[in-house]
Structure 1
Amino acid sequence: MKFSVLILLSMFSGLAGAAESMPSEKPDTLDDRVKACIICHRDADKINRDAYFPRIAGKPAGYLYNQLRNFRDGKRYYQPMAILLENMSDEYMLEIAQYFASLPYTYPEPVVHTLSSAEVRSVETLINSGDPARDLPACSACHGEALMGVRPYIPGLLGLPHAYLAAQFGGWRNGGIMRGQTPDCMSKIAKKLTQEEVNAIALWLPGQPVSGQLAGADVLTPELVQRCQSILSESEGVTQ
């Protein structure tokens, strides 16, 4: 484990130390500094739809910024990310977040799922209506009607691989290597879903065609703003 961390630290050294300007003939642009990120969060034309690591290009800047801060501050935990970010300033992380948010992204084609008609109806009910009896808001109420996310802090749900979605739900429901001990609104929601519903949602989402754009923050109801207060307040001042 220590050996693998040393390898990652070696690859990331240019990014972690970029805040200090050193005389060099090599280019020192943000494009060059973030190349280390692409080792895991690969370019759109190289992404494997079964990969665990998510794409970060084109996601809302506030969301990316929050995740970087959470890794640095221990709210989420993954050792290579924690080490990479431990001495990075908020300002520099925001610059990185805004860089990746500005990048275009070509979404993969939908994947045909194997869900039954009853499972599809159940998922679509959760997506569009939620379940008030369990205090479950509709997925579209938070992530936008097109499920493309809400600027600047809520990510979209489409174009993500099944493996990543399943792992994220597992982390929210049970705790895991990529999730810290600080609960957020998604962890509370995920724990109210059954395992069968989680499995069906993680299969249904990659099968949906991608269309539409990020929604504006004004689509969120006052109840949802209150519910995810910690996420929204952390993104104050971020516009992308």
Structure 2
Amino acid sequence: MEARTLACVGCHGDKGRGVANVYFPRLAGKPSGYLYNQLIAFQEGRRRYAPMNYLLAYLPPAYLKQMADYFAAQSPDPIPIAAPSAPPAIIAQGQQIVTKGLPDKKIPACTTCHGATLTGREPGIPGLLGLRTDYVSAQLGAWRYGTRTALAPDCMQLIASTLSEPEVAAVSSYLATLPVPANDKPAAAANTPLPMGCGSQSPHLAAGAKP
């Protein structure tokens, strides 16, 4: 599989461990269920980025699952954390949203789904650490404007479209200040329900079956 995924190296780094480009995320260590769901989303056009749409167009689901398992098994390299680029008040606002949510807008804290340490949760929720401000902002923007979607109910589209532009900037800025812990493995699957419906977390998707 390492040889078969050489086309991924230019954007995602050796074994998916990341590159310097702020818009390309690392894949190593993310939950296999999440990676599989995203590969299917690119293949079906629910995520729109022409190179990915083209590369995945004709690969069978079983092969995509093997790719997801391969990248999930890799250990990501540590990513240097840059000095905060936003004012302290913006960072504090982002911390409030990430850890407490926005009750007046019925937006749950990021930690309720992505884990108390924000390292993600099995089988299909990604970690939010080791991501740059521009990448997080771009993904929230993609959900806001429909270029990234998930199966209904699309919880992240609802959350992103409810956040204001300054709130998106605050969340993105705060997350980029957080270091990646030594143990950055996703948390085990929890028996407690998510705070809102989320179609991408359907059990059959996490198990690797094509919807």
TM-score grouping bracket, smaller chain normalisation = 0.7 to 0.9
Q: Structure 1: where are the runs of 5+ without partners? A: 1-29
Superposition pairs of residues 11-26 of structure 1, within 5 angstroms: none
1:236, CA displacement in angstroms?
3.4
> 2:87 & 2:56 partners in 1: Cα distance?
44
Whichever structure has more helix as a proportion of its residues is 1
Write out the 4+ residue segments of structure 1 that deviate beyond 6 Å after TM superposition: none
Q: 1:36 aligned to 2:46? A: no
State the shift of 1:79 in Å.
2.1
Q: Is the 8 A contact 1:152 1:235 kept in 2?
A: no
Structure 2: state its 5+ residue gaps.
Answer: none
Query: How many pairs align?
Result: 204
Taking structure 1 as reference, are residues 163 and 227 closer, same or farther at Cα in structure 2, changes over 3 Å only?
same
- Please, what is the CA RMSD of the aligned residues? 2.1
Deviation at 1:65, TM superposition (A): 0.2
Rg larger in structure: 1
The 10-residue stretch of structure 1 (99-108 or 182-191) with the greater mean CA deviation from structure 2:
182-191
- Structure 2 matches for 1:1-240, cutoff 5 A? 30-43=1-14, 47-48=19-20, 50-176=21-147, 179-180=148-149, 184-211=154-181, 212=183, 213-218=185-190, 221-224=192-195, 227-237=197-207
Residues 12 and 24 of structure 2 are in contact (CA less than 8 Å); yes or no, is this contact kept in structure 1? yes
- Residue 121 of structure 1: CA displacement? 2.7
Q: How has the CA–CA distance of structure 1 residues 234 and 189 changed in structure 2, closer, same or farther, with 3 Å as cutoff?
A: farther
Q: Is the 8 A contact 2:90 2:173 kept in 1?
A: no
Q: 1:230 to 1:114 in 2, by over 3 A?
A: closer
TM-superposed CA distance for 1:133, in Å, is: 1.8
CA distance in 2, matches of 1:124, 1:35: 37
Output the amino acid matched with 2:177: G
- 148-157 vs 74-83, greater mean Cα deviation: 74-83
Q: Aligned partners of 1:173, 1:234: CA distance in 2, in Å?
A: 26
1:151 Cα deviation after fit: 1.2
1:149 deviates by 0.5
Question: How far did 1:190 drift?
Answer: 0.8
TM-score (norm 2): 0.87
8 Å CA contact 1:41, 1:56 repeated in 2: yes
Contact 1:143 1:154 in 2 (8 A): yes
Letter in 2 for 1:159: G
In 2, Cα distance between equivalents of 1:120 and 1:206:
10
Partner of residue 25, structure 1: none
Q: Which amino acid aligns with 2:89?
A: A
State the distance in 1 between where 2:193 and 2:174 align: 28
Classify the secondary structure of the residue corresponding to 2:3: helix
Instruction: State which drifts further: 227-236 or 52-61.
Output: 227-236
